[in-house]
Structure 1
Amino acid sequence: MDALQFDLKSKQLSLIQLPVPSKLAENDVLIKVAYAGICGTDLHIAEGAFPCGEKVVLGHEFSGVVEAVGSKVNHVKPGDKVSVDPNSGCGTCNYCTDSNYHYCEVGGLNNTIGIYRNGGWANYCVVPNNQVFKLPEKISLEQAALTEPLSCISHGWDKIQPIPIGKDILIMGAGIIGNLWACVLHLQGHRKVIVSEPQEARRKLVANLNTGYEIMKPTDLQARKAANPKWGVDLIIDCSGFGPAIEQALDLLNPGGQLCIFGVASPETKISVSPYLLFKKELTINAINVNPFSFNKSLGFIDAMGDRYLAYEKLGIKVFGLNQYEAALAALKTGTIAKAIFKID
């Protein structure tokens, strides 16, 4: 089978041939992959800036069809359409038993499918059965490829509540995560939202969502603040992972405001924070790490959002074959698309 494998030592991503897995443990599920997304984390991995396994098939956002199951798997069967939660925990430590398996020392980001275990950038992938979710009838495999990023947003949504309707909100970054956040906010009734994005192509992409949100450049935000020093917003959701943008965000918050750090920054990124500013404005900073027990909530979001929000052309998603991975990565880096997804035959 075809597989895109990353070699940590050489920092090279290569399309290779691997045998189709033929032996399953009793709790394993073999999935024929249909769609697999490229995440910003994958870009960091490909640059050698994010930890991963030594030689691993990447791809932690994917959907597919069950090909075979182990002897003790009974909640899915061959032919079922599914999506995969790439994260898990040991199940016994204090973090796991407190429903925070993403903090687990042997789970969470330390054992993610597609980062430390072979993932979905291949024709087939073996997954533990408790990380496989059968799709509701209305959800397509295309939509289900977005379950993982939306499950992270669902976790973030829970952490930043309550957000009363009418609050002023700023989304920083109009890649796929910023666009999905815009969709979730619009679905929930929020209308006083600004989306800030430096790249013109991505500003045009987020405009395709027809939310009526104000879309501007970061320099426009600075100009508005300079013209009216009292101007600000109540909630900022940073989807850029860009240190200077996060620093700027704190100055744009109203008293009592909240900053949600959602974008995954490089481990080398540092920011400078004024404790006095935090004290004076009584600000809250929430950082979001993956998706503990939020996969079913994500499927609920997808069911409610449908093609009104999740059609690929509206979100700025372009589909590639596995053999087009170089073009896919290049398009993401230049910002001409919001997201690349592999359609795997």
Structure 2
Amino acid sequence: MKALRLEAIGDLFVREVDIPSPGPGDLLVRVEACGICGTDRHLLHGEFPSTPPVTLGHEFCGIVEAIGDHVSDIAIGARITGDPNISCGRCSQCRAGRVNLCHALRAIGIHRDGGFADYVTVPRKQAHEIPLSLDPVHGAFCEPLACCLHGIDLSGIRTGSSVVVLGGGVIGLLTVQLARLAGATTVILSTRQAAKRRLAEEVGATATVDPSASDIVEAIAGPAGLVPGGVDVVIECAGVAETVQQSTRLAKSGGTVVILGVMPRGETVEIEPFDILFRELRVLGSFINPFVHRRAADLVASGVIEIDKLISRRVSLDEAASVIAHPPAAGEVKVLVVPNRA
């Protein structure tokens, strides 16, 4: 079978490898679709910890084609979405219910072979069944949606809340939709790209701002801004220093800032601790998807999340390495790898 292998930092190639065999408690899954994530680019450049050589791809769905020993509760032919994050269940964080902070956390597509391949093995406990009637590419959105859902849970959004989302990529556009579902009546998205601003308004943003056209803090939180004094919740989804620095200045006193975007490991930003203290801001990190993947899968299956508008293009495994090696094209939101695509 074909697999997209990160053989070393900076070295990403399609290789012919053996089809894996499911071990005890595992499923062998024929991959139908796998999303390209910004984290894949960080992995390629050594900006996020991984263990090459490894097959990348952590946003996948597919069809169960074989079942390992000790699995009896899922049928061959079922469609699943895989939660890639495997916790040990034994460390102090796991025992406290903080499985995303597991001391021995391992991830499919990062530490063990993932979904940029014709087949992937998935522990049964990480597989969530989704309808066969669902468009399979929609199943590849369950993992990023789950990460956004955890951030929304942490944010404390209530009915009537005001929210700013910084970043117009797939995470920002999914977060806009979840913020509206959580009850926010004002959801403002900030991005430089006009196409993404238009798309944000199509999927639920009540307003958008171009940060290159004006001082974003004044435009949103200034006396004549969209929400004078600042918003209840700011969710940073871009993973760049500029938006992280903007985030605390956009929140109102007593507000909440959630850092959901992934900056490269080792990069730093300047903040003013006195401002956080004096205005009693809550600044939270949101890491992956503890206990929310099933909810995300149900949301995708329900059809309440707009997905089709977020799909920029579909590529083959042979094309995927080039996509990951280059920055996203202007206006691009989500590229999906479809292994059997000609």
Tell whether 2:309 aligns with 1:323: no
Write the deviation string for residues 253-285 of structure 1: whole angstroms up to 9, x where unpaired. 111111010011111221222221112111001
What residue number does 1:146 align with? 141
Q: CA deviation at 1:155?
A: 1.6
Tell whether 2:11 aligns with 1:17: no
Which structure: greater helix fraction?
1
Q: Structure 2: which 5+ residue stretches go unaligned? A: none
Calculate the TM-score normalised by the size of structure 1.
0.91
Tell whether 2:263 aligns with 1:265: yes
Tell whether 2:273 aligns with 1:294: no
Secondary structure of 1:309's match? coil
What residue number does 2:159 align with? 165
CA distance in 2, matches of 1:24, 1:164: 44
The question of whether the paired residues in 2 share the 8 Å contact of 1:143 and 1:310 is answered with no
Q: CA deviation at 1:131?
A: 0.9
What residue number does 1:180 align with? 174
What residue number does 2:4 align with? 4
Secondary structure of 2:234's match? strand
CA distance in 2, matches of 1:6, 1:94: 32
Q: CA deviation at 1:191?
A: 2.8
What residue number does 1:85 align with? 83
What residue number does 1:249 align with? 247
The question of whether the paired residues in 2 share the 8 Å contact of 1:332 and 1:340 is answered with no
- Over the matched positions of the two proteins, sequence identity in percent amounts to 30
What residue number does 1:309 align with? 305
Q: CA deviation at 1:205?
A: 3.3
CA distance in 2, matches of 1:240, 1:340: 17
Tell whether 2:208 aligns with 1:215: yes
Q: CA deviation at 1:289?
A: 0.6
1:191 to 185, 188, 198: 185
CA distance in 2, matches of 1:151, 1:311: 14
CA distance in 2, matches of 1:44, 1:72: 36
* Cα 1:276–1:232 shift into 2, 3 Å: same
CA distance in 2, matches of 1:88, 1:330: 27
1:201 to 183, 195, 203: 195
CA distance in 2, matches of 1:222, 1:156: 22
CA distance in 1, matches of 2:92, 2:8: 31
Secondary structure of 2:256's match? strand
The question of whether the paired residues in 2 share the 8 Å contact of 1:318 and 1:339 is answered with yes
Q: Structure 1: which 5+ residue stretches go unaligned? A: none
* Cα 1:199–1:277 shift into 2, 3 Å: same
CA distance in 1, matches of 2:82, 2:179: 25
Write the deviation string for residues 97-149 of structure 1: whole angstroms up to 9, x where unpaired. 22212211211xxx100001000000001111111111146643222111111
Query: Match for 2:13: what amino acid?
Result: S
CA distance in 1, matches of 2:96, 2:153: 16
RMSD: 2.0
Write the deviation string for residues 305-345 of structure 1: whole angstroms up to 9, x where unpaired. x1x53332x12432111112145337752333111111122
Query: Match for 2:58: what amino acid?
Result: H
The question of whether the paired residues in 2 share the 8 Å contact of 1:101 and 1:292 is answered with yes
What residue number does 1:103 align with? 101
- Stretches (4+) displaced over 6 A: none
* Cα 1:274–1:223 shift into 2, 3 Å: closer
2:114 to 105, 115, 119: 119
Query: Match for 1:15: what amino acid?
Result: V
Q: CA deviation at 1:159?
A: 1.6
Q: CA deviation at 1:212?
A: 5.0
The question of whether the paired residues in 2 share the 8 Å contact of 1:208 and 1:315 is answered with no
Q: CA deviation at 1:287?
A: 0.7
The question of whether the paired residues in 2 share the 8 Å contact of 1:5 and 1:15 is answered with yes
Query: Match for 1:236: what amino acid?
Result: V
The question of whether the paired residues in 1 share the 8 Å contact of 2:8 and 2:53 is answered with yes
* Cα 1:166–1:331 shift into 2, 3 Å: farther
The question of whether the paired residues in 1 share the 8 Å contact of 2:31 and 2:115 is answered with yes
